[in-house]
Amino acid sequence: MTYKIIIYCPDRHILYHATTPEKEGVGGGIVARIRLAQNLAKLGHEVTLISNVSQPHVSQGAIFLPLEEADKRREADVLLMMSSGDKLSLHSANSLPIESRLREVWVQGTLPIAGIKELNPDYIVAPSNFNRNVVKQEWQIAEEKLFVIYNGLTQFPSPRKWWKPRETRDPYSLIYFSHPSKGLDAAIAVLRLLRQQDTRFSLHVFGGNALWGGEDGNITEPGLIYHGTKGQKEVFQYLQMTNFSLNLQAREEPFGMVVTESMSQGCIPIASPVGAFPETIHHGNNGFLVSGDHQKEIVHQKTAELILKTVQVPDYLDYIRHIGQNIPWTWENQARVFAQHWSWELDQEGITMESSDIRCPNCGGSWLLTADGYHCLGCGLYSQEGQ
């Protein structure tokens, strides 16, 4: 079953093109809508993305239109609306001349989006169980309107070709790639402690204020190499050469693509157990979680000690790399999950698990089987194992 899909985002704080993530680097919300549009089109769906692109263009089968095209009458099977930056508002979606069979809002954060209640969408799709709970509890959205679909993973290079011989990965090299406000200070503090023990440790920093529409500055620190905001391809090249990705922070990530992107390239994530990070990182299995206030010296010390110990056991780190690389949440796979969700809602096509001993632990609802596991039809919860 194929569908006609329109993705709409009114955010104007960053002007972009479908190729911007590869070339320049942008925030996760922009990456998410571009990748989903491209991969839905690859699956054969008719996809139009109306957003703040510079000009009409086609990318990997998906049509990208500027916001000036939003006032034209259109019909679709699915209208997927989102706002991940700028004013965090979907008020403009109320006047869209688009008729659709299913209307959904796709969220990428924990801050409320203005205009959602007036829109009264059929579903709100969240990128994690954590974000789902925030939408339910803090936004006061009924759980029967919620559905969780994880964000995908951009694959550079193609699957299973990331592996580098151990000799080409610098065991003393760390990376931080995110907006500086999320935890760069903590990463630098860990670097300082490590260099007190061994000056071979270095930290590559990608990302700056340009990620959120501002201007990058400059950072100087012994052992720190500052690259500024760069495209995904260049960042992924460094992920293939570095040993650990530092994600110590207080910000509760709605998903945190930095973690799955690190895993995919064999770079081991070390993160605070906040937001959705504990959903994707299993401590000591595919990465590490370090509890405590990321601004406190004791957390910096625990992180530095963890790195100093594990770097002496490269076979163990290779074991973690291999597990982390087997991530099921590629954008192609997650596009299939979206399509399977729509197929069930629009045409009641799909397979469910309804036996009494295989039920959602949250609400007792039936599980819908999809390309990434189990999705509850009662409350939208996601589970890899159906429990």
Burial zone of 363 (CB within 10 Å; 0-12 exposed, 13-18 middle, 19+ buried): middle
User: Which of the 8 DSSP states describes residue 335?
Assistant: H
- Is the distance from CB of 145 to CB of 123 less than 8 angstroms? yes
User: CA–CA separation, 303 vs 309, rounded Å?
Assistant: 10
| CA-based R_g, the chain, Å | 21
Q: If we measure between CA atoms, which residue out of 76, 52, 75 comes closest to residue 64?
A: 52
pLDDT tens column, 283-306: 999 999 999 999 999 999 999 999
Look at residue 160 in the predicted model and tell me its pLDDT.
Answer: 47
Residue 212 has pLDDT above 90, yes or no: no
Rounded to an integer, the average pLDDT of 378-385 is 95
pLDDT tens column, 158-173: 444 445 555 678 999 9
Token pair for 102: 């299913």
Q: Please enumerate in sequence order all residues whose Cβ is within 8 A of that of 249, keeping only pairs 6 or more positions apart, or say none.
A: 182, 183, 186, 271, 272, 274, 294
Look at residue 61 in the predicted model and tell me its pLDDT.
Answer: 98
Look at residue 162 in the predicted model and tell me its pLDDT.
Answer: 46
Q: If we measure between CA atoms, which residue out of 98, 64, 96 comes closest to residue 78?
A: 98
Residue with tokens 């006032």: 71
Identify the three-state secondary structure at position 145: helix
Token pair for 158: 């193609």
3-state helix, strand, coil in the chain (%, to 5): 35, 20, 45
Rounded to an integer, the average pLDDT of 136-149 is 97
Look at residue 158 in the predicted model and tell me its pLDDT.
Answer: 46
Task: Reply yes or no: is the peptide bond before residue 157 cis, omega within 30 of 0.
Answer: yes
| Of the listed ranges 36-50, 230-244, 301-315, the one predicted with least confidence | 230-244
What are the extents of the domains in the chain? Answer: 1-152+329-387, 166-325
The DSSP-derived string for 274-327 is -TTHHHH--BTTTBEE--S-TTSHHHHHHHHHHHHHHTT-HHHHHHHHHHHH--
Look at residue 167 in the predicted model and tell me its pLDDT.
Answer: 61
Residue 384 has pLDDT above 50, yes or no: yes
User: CA–CA separation, 145 vs 263, rounded Å?
Assistant: 32
Share of the chain above pLDDT 70, in %: 95
> What is the maximal distance between C-alpha atoms in the chain?
64
Rounded to an integer, the average pLDDT of 347-376 is 93
User: CA–CA separation, 207 vs 177, rounded Å?
Assistant: 5
- Is the distance from CB of 30 to CB of 211 less than 8 angstroms? no
Residue 15 has pLDDT above 50, yes or no: yes
pLDDT tens column, 330-343: 999 999 999 999 99
Q: With respect to CATH, is domain 166-325 assigned 3.40.50.2000? A: yes
Name the band, by pLDDT with cuts 50, 70 and 90, for residue 385: confident
Which residues of the chain form beta strands (DSSP E)?
4-8, 46-50, 57-59, 62-65, 74-81, 98-106, 123-126, 146-148, 173-177, 202-206, 224-228, 244-247, 268-271, 288-289, 352-353, 367-370, 373-376, 382-383
What is the average pLDDT value for the chain, to the nearest integer? 93
User: CA–CA separation, 237 vs 181, rounded Å?
Assistant: 23
Residue with tokens 């780190």: 317
**What is the distance, to the nearest Å, from the Cα of residue 143 to the centroid of all Cα atoms in its chain?**
22
Given this chain, do its domains 1-152+329-387 and 166-325 carry the same CATH topology? yes
Look at residue 210 in the predicted model and tell me its pLDDT.
Answer: 65
Higher pLDDT, 371 or 169: 371
In one-letter notation, the amino acid at residue 209 is N
Residue 104 has pLDDT above 60, yes or no: yes
Sign of the C-alpha dihedral computed for residues 37, 344, 370 and 383 taken in this order: positive
Q: Please enumerate in sequence order all residues whose Cβ is within 8 A of that of 109, keeping only pairs 6 or more positions apart, or say none.
A: 29, 84, 88, 131, 254
Residue 23 has pLDDT above 90, yes or no: no
pLDDT tens column, 213-263: 677 678 889 999 999 888 888 999 999 999 999 999 999 999 999 999 999
- Tell me the CATH architecture of domain 1-152+329-387: 3-Layer(aba) Sandwich (3.40)
> φ and ψ at 375, to 5 degrees?
-130, 125
What is the CA angle 307-309-311, rounded to 5? 65
Rounded to an integer, the average pLDDT of 38-49 is 98
- Residue 116 CB: number of other CB atoms within 10 A? 21
Rounded to an integer, the average pLDDT of 349-370 is 92
> φ and ψ at 270, to 5 degrees?
-125, 115
